[in-house]
Structure 1
């Protein structure tokens, strides 16, 4: 169990270093004066921390081209090649692995198919092989990899690295994190995939405008990530924000959901739900070719298919209005394969939101579509581990802090030059 760290000079030092590194990573290139302002630390403390970072080649000093006269101001930025992170997106039919630098830029990507009814040990072996491929193809030393983030659909115990339940794989209580740490010999974080995409958008994308960020994913399933006060909200048992499984239809004829219930939001607006409504029976999970056929039929005037998309969009709008009533977000990010033709769902959804928000005050909540291809999902997985690297060390875990690893490896690499 993690315990709150007792106050000490070491704790204060660690928190100050992490705070400064996080500011530079999030807002760099940035001046020392601005770092001091945002951190609340004295100029002397900033100087001491920056000397350590610069000597370790973890932070670079760069001169801006803009100057009001005299010597150009010196700005600080993270050295992106001071360390690397692996991001993994686990889909029901393949695994996508990316190599990212400290600015979360994707340097390399590889994909591998998964066998039908893949077992956990098979998936672990495939991910470990792709991990080694990333290092070999890019001539990266193993000791320069800080860790790995793995995104998977389902309920995750991220503290223990356990996949509690995945409806795609029908897995329960799989110790995915420990198994991957054993195979790859790097720290591993397992997280719900939509949480990872949400964090990536919050740190590097369209979600940076507010400390509250909501992302809804629509496609093979329906998921949601929620950030409040800059931190992922997971709930008491790690299953918060299961937006796809809120009940939207309690009638006896409500459509079945892949979770085993009826009338879930996912059973109505996901690819599976659209296909079920169109065929009048269960197909299983999404069929990409069939979904494109249904979209084409709706575009060319098939009123029956248009009505299915219209109802799905209206139900989505009511559900999104409830999110507005609960969290009052500045915007809602929308991602996923379900937006192949976004107007089919989002046009009726936008029309419904003002009708179901409290007091009709929020009538113009922006729905922002964001990219969500395989590369972006895997990049989101890498961003979760980077988030841990820059997180202030409030808790005592018994493990070496990521920032200590980063500084040690940077020092070692500098001495070898």
Structure 2
């Protein structure tokens, strides 16, 4: 029994050291060497060489060019192999299912989309994954699936937008791809991607995703906040308008935040519209939309004042399709938050996210990478 425990401990230590070495190669962007990894980790040169031999044999790492000489023999640099292993990233929305093959450096290799006949059909997700598998000859390390709902292990506990309840998406994809499937809430995925590519707001920020729905994610001291039941950030179905005239939400309640500040609501589109197929910028410029945008911004700012004060997280990043609403929307948010300052709380700061529009598949891919190999593309 003691020997078994010792072996398990040794295996855990080696796994941790492998992860550290792989992260340093990834973060080094082609400049890491065996000697630099030994210095950074405190491991012996022999241990580092052993670890890297395994990573090289697995095809995760490549030997690169010779590093600059420091007086002795020039060391060989190490880099991630971008061709032999890939990630699949899938974004599920009511009106569109998108997918991409992403290499281990975070670059998109190929992408495709599928417009569902019925919103929330599992078959459309399966078809997209099947097409992605067929589009690459590399080994799929992991699959990241981004959904508008509560992700809990292999289950989507609930997605009002997709009409899902306790859906096991991992089981649905098991016969299609031989790789672990990792599910992630859409706001969480966007927050991870944005945080990894920008240090503008530091380690404490609130990410609010506005598209066909509304969701939030909270990064506190550099870590994503999950909550007691993986439901942190589910603010879309909190009532903010009351009375019989409040708009009816898809969840069955009236006056939910989603019915007031989702981008579809702000520009007057039906619930579940595929926002990729419409000109949000043009729709947002109409007088009717501008009035809805001004009102929605006031409602959202007041809601975020409470959340920001409760969590002591004063930095708000707006993602999803929100950046397409432009300066007017974020200007209203700033003005409303400044108009109602909260005593003893830090004032809110707002900015738009960039990565969700420029690299939409990065968040789910990073979640899959972190969950499977324990490394990330963070700064």
Aligned to 1:167: 160
Deviations 1:205-262 (A, max 9, x none): 2258744453211121111223345543222222211132334334554333332223
Give the Cα–Cα distance (whole angstroms) in 2 for the partners of residues 76 and 294 of structure 1.
Answer: 49
Q: Which runs of 5+ in 2 are unaligned?
A: none
Worse overlay, 21-30 or 37-46: 37-46
| Compared CA separation, residues 61 and 245, structure 1 to 2 (3 A) | same
| Compared CA separation, residues 47 and 185, structure 1 to 2 (3 A) | closer
Aligned to 2:181: 188
Quick check: 2:120–2:163 contact (8 Å CA) kept in 1?
A: no
CA RMSD of aligned residues (A): 3.4
1:319 and 2:303 matched: yes
Worse overlay, 109-118 or 147-156: 109-118
Quick check: 2:318–2:350 contact (8 Å CA) kept in 1?
A: no
**Out of 128, 132, 148, which is 1:153 matched to?**
148
Greater helix proportion: 1
Give the Cα–Cα distance (whole angstroms) in 1 for the partners of residues 195 and 187 of structure 2.
Answer: 12
Aligned to 2:12: 11
Quick check: 2:194–2:356 contact (8 Å CA) kept in 1?
A: no
Aligned to 1:199: 192
1:227 and 2:219 matched: yes
Give the Cα–Cα distance (whole angstroms) in 2 for the partners of residues 267 and 345 of structure 1.
Answer: 16
Aligned to 1:108: 110
Give the Cα–Cα distance (whole angstroms) in 2 for the partners of residues 360 and 43 of structure 1.
Answer: 52
Quick check: 1:256–1:267 contact (8 Å CA) kept in 2?
A: yes
TM-score, normalization: structure 1? 0.75
Aligned ranges 1:337-348 → 2 under 5 Å: 337-348=321-332
Deviations 1:309-350 (A, max 9, x none): 212112222233334324444743221223323223100111
Aligned to 2:286: 297
Deviations 1:130-164 (A, max 9, x none): 133322xxxx15xx11121111111222x2x1222
| Compared CA separation, residues 62 and 367, structure 1 to 2 (3 A) | same
Aligned to 2:86: 84
Aligned ranges 1:375-414 → 2 under 5 Å: 376-391=359-374
Quick check: 1:193–1:377 contact (8 Å CA) kept in 2?
A: no
- Structure number with greater CO (CA < 8 Å, separation at least 6) is 1
The total of aligned residue pairs comes to 367
- Note the C-alpha offset of 1:108: 0.7
TM-score, normalization: structure 2? 0.82
- List structure 1 runs of 4+ shifted beyond 6 angstroms: 64-73
Give the Cα–Cα distance (whole angstroms) in 2 for the partners of residues 259 and 113 of structure 1.
Answer: 23
Aligned to 1:25: 26
Give the Cα–Cα distance (whole angstroms) in 1 for the partners of residues 294 and 201 of structure 2.
Answer: 31
SS in 1 for 2:87: strand
| Compared CA separation, residues 364 and 321, structure 1 to 2 (3 A) | closer
**Out of 229, 236, 244, which is 1:244 matched to?**
236
Give the Cα–Cα distance (whole angstroms) in 1 for the partners of residues 39 and 299 of structure 2.
Answer: 46
